[in-house]
Structure 1
Amino acid sequence: MTQTSRPEAVIVAGGFGTRLLPLTERRPKHLLEVGGVPFLEHQIARLAQAGVDHVVLATSYHADLFKPVLGDGSRWGVRLDYVREEEPLGTGGAIRNVADVLGDDPEGAVVILNGDILSGHDLPGQLRDFETPRDGQRVDVSLHLVGVEDARPFGCVPTDASGRVLDFVEKSDNPVTNQINAGCYVFRRDVVDLIPSGRVVSVERETFPGLVAEGRLVVGYVESAYWRDVGTPEALVAASREVVLGLAPTPAVAAAPPARVDEEASVGDATVDGGSLLLAGVAVADGAVVSGSVLMAGARVGAGARVVDSVLGPGAVAGAGAVLEGVALGDDAVVADGVTVPAGERVPCGERR
């Protein structure tokens, strides 16, 4: 089968980012910086590299903040459209909600990305596999699958020798396979229109199992490249660190070990390493140690403070001699001089400890 148009893409970016609180109290998770740029820039750049020329953002929470940051897509050579959900519609509902701005080629490929996955998998390879019929039958949907050591916390997706998806199995103490859904799909354009409109739909629980039950060809594209769900403060810090250190794919950001420090930041006589990210207006005082952490715009670290594997939201302050390890500070949160914040703590926006 020959594809008659260039692939399009939809990024599902409507979630509230609850797992990332307090960092998402004032902004969508998709615009949090990873390795020096808003997270969605990584995804848009990777889509452009794969030949996609039209990207649709399915937004909802703080929808007005996306376009001022990302613009019209011309930076990446793509056309970027924005479609807002008036109420949450689930993954499938969000995809169906943008159908009117997609092209009309029924055989066209539509790449769907979950808006919180950083992946280095071979998307062009998945697209080529998508265009390869099985026994003369076209592929309707392709799912990127990854193998994990312990699949018990995940839903599993078993496939046969040709790659055909056989079932979708919920979490189990005895998984039928170690293959799990990695959050990148390719839909045939006319299959998007099969999703019911105007209501909540889950592709994982409703759309995909329904297509398999109907005998449509749903295949898995199994690959073990870099993959990370950037859905918690800890994962955000780890992803940013891995981008800076060159351990993760970087289509939008050049790696700059041992740290990435904005030219408008000030680090004084401090130690900044471990793949840390310091954005504009950050100030780190003499004698402080910042390692493996993300300091967002305007954050400040006092003299002799220790900030390790932590994230400081815009304007947040770690006072002189403070100790933060594995901590998330919301916007304008303050940790007073000499205070040690318990590991794993999340300090809400504007709060003082």
Structure 2
Amino acid sequence: MPATPRPAASPVPVRPDTLAPEAVIVAGGFGTRMLPLTERRPKHLLEVGGVAFLEHQISTLAAAGVGHVVLATSYHAELFFPVLGDGSRFGVRLSYVTEDEPLGTGGAIRNVAGALAPEPERAVVVLNGDVLSGHDLVAQLADFEQPRDGRAVDVSLHLVEVADARAFGCVPTDEGRRVLAFVEKSDDPVSNQVNAGCYVFRRRVVDDIPAGRVVSVERETFPGLVADGALVVGWVESAYWRDVGSPAALVAASRDLVLGTATSPAVRRAPAPAWVDPGARVEGEVSDGSSVAVGAQVAAGATVRGSVLMPGAVVGAGSEVVDSVLGPGVRVGAGARVHGCAVGDEAAVPDGAMLEPGSRVACGSTA
């Protein structure tokens, strides 16, 4: 594919305080890695730490001074508004733009350009819709507005350092944190810095992404900008970060939020061994960062450890649910063992059943 054209050179902007940052959350994926939990809803609305995942991202954006958030949706797009509304309860204005067909990360960003304000130098935060991050977005935005050698930054990327970068594409930077390249996965990585899924775009850069076709920011937009001499910088920070793209990652992220290993403006409560909604009924043991949603039940003698019970899930007497996710309306029978599993909506686990670790039970089925 051809490289993305370099944005026209511009003087360092004087950004009035009234030009508050806007944001785009890319939330159009099918959530295939999350199946069966995503058979009936987008992964972005799955409960993590007791609230829909996007609530963490929207609350983080609001806390950073973002006033307008655009959700780029596709799969089950009709389900977002009933959960998130117009954004007023988060202190932001929420807009929704739906893709008729998948356009990739860059295409999704370009597709919502009409919903963004037209000021070319405004900061636009872009978040991948499946990343939980505790990094300092306020500081990244402030850094974005600092000129480099008399030039305005075009794009800032949040980068994290990982111990083993072989499973990731690498993003090497120079001493001034200017991005040098985007390197595909390799057995011999050139850097341990990887893309963390939070970007700050200059508004004019969004308009330079080709419209009406599939575009990947990772493979086309960012490499093209670097090749054409645009000013792309890295914001390297080692705060909490997790890609919440699988049932195991969802369990881990939820546990971290409950125990206080991770924090979020969406869950302002003290760390605890477990979180239990006031509308749930728990007679058994719930521990190790488990979360138990409204209408869920844990019978006497049952044990739930490090797990996520979504609304209406029921765990029968004497059962063990460990490191697992139970979707809405799941029924786990008495004396069953569910370890490291993902059980879809309204599925049933019979009395005494012992599921193999890693099992995934389809919605409405019997294990």
TM-score normalised by the shorter chain: which range applies? over 0.9
Aligned residue in 1 for 2:240: 226
Equivalent residues, number:
352
- What is the distance in 1 between the residues matched to 2:177 and 2:325? 40
Aligned residue in 1 for 2:273: 258
Aligned residue in 1 for 2:186: 172
Aligned residue in 1 for 2:14: 2
Query: 2:120 aligns to what SS in structure 1?
Result: coil
Query: 1:341 aligns to what SS in structure 2?
Result: coil
Superposition CA RMSD, Å: 0.7
1:1-353 mapped onto 2 (5 Å cutoff):
1-4=13-16, 5-253=19-267, 254-268=269-283, 270-353=284-367
Query: 1:340 aligns to what SS in structure 2?
Result: coil
Structure 1 portions without partners, runs of 5+:
none
Shift of 1:296: 0.6
Structure 2 portions without partners, runs of 5+:
1-12
**Identity of paired residues, percent?**
71
Query: 2:163 aligns to what SS in structure 1?
Result: coil
- Contact kept in structure 2, 1:2 and 1:131, CA below 8 Å: no
Give every structure 1 segment of 4 or more consecutive aligned residues whose post-TM-superposition deviation is greater than 6 Å. none
Aligned residue in 1 for 2:5: none
Shift of 1:91: 0.2
- What is the distance in 2 between the residues matched to 1:92 and 1:58? 11
Shift of 1:2: 3.2
Query: 2:59 aligns to what SS in structure 1?
Result: helix
- What is the distance in 2 between the residues matched to 1:298 and 1:75? 25
For 1:76, the aligned partner's letter is: F
Query: 2:146 aligns to what SS in structure 1?
Result: coil
- What is the distance in 1 between the residues matched to 2:326 and 2:14? 49
- Contact kept in structure 2, 1:11 and 1:55, CA below 8 Å: yes
For 1:258, the aligned partner's letter is: P
Query: 2:281 aligns to what SS in structure 1?
Result: coil
- What is the distance in 1 between the residues matched to 2:98 and 2:198? 21
- The superposition leaves residues 189-231 of structure 1 with CA deviations (integer Å, 9 ceiling, x where unpaired) of 0000000000000000000000011101000000000000000
Shift of 1:147: 0.2
Shift of 1:262: 1.0
- The superposition leaves residues 319-338 of structure 1 with CA deviations (integer Å, 9 ceiling, x where unpaired) of 10000110110001111011
For 2:30, the aligned partner's letter is: F
- Contact kept in structure 2, 1:243 and 1:255, CA below 8 Å: no
- What is the distance in 2 between the residues matched to 1:51 and 1:321? 50
Query: 1:95 aligns to what SS in structure 2?
Result: helix
For 1:310, the aligned partner's letter is: S
- What is the distance in 2 between the residues matched to 1:36 and 1:335? 23
- Contact kept in structure 2, 1:318 and 1:334, CA below 8 Å: yes
TM-score by structure 1 length?
Answer: 0.99
Shift of 1:255: 3.8
Query: 2:257 aligns to what SS in structure 1?
Result: helix
Shift of 1:256: 4.5
Shift of 1:134: 1.1
- What is the distance in 2 between the residues matched to 1:212 and 1:182? 18
- What is the distance in 2 between the residues matched to 1:27 and 1:36? 16
TM-score by structure 2 length?
Answer: 0.95
Query: 2:165 aligns to what SS in structure 1?
Result: coil
- What is the distance in 2 between the residues matched to 1:331 and 1:79? 31
- What is the distance in 2 between the residues matched to 1:2 and 1:25? 47
- What is the distance in 1 between the residues matched to 2:272 and 2:28? 33
Shift of 1:29: 0.4
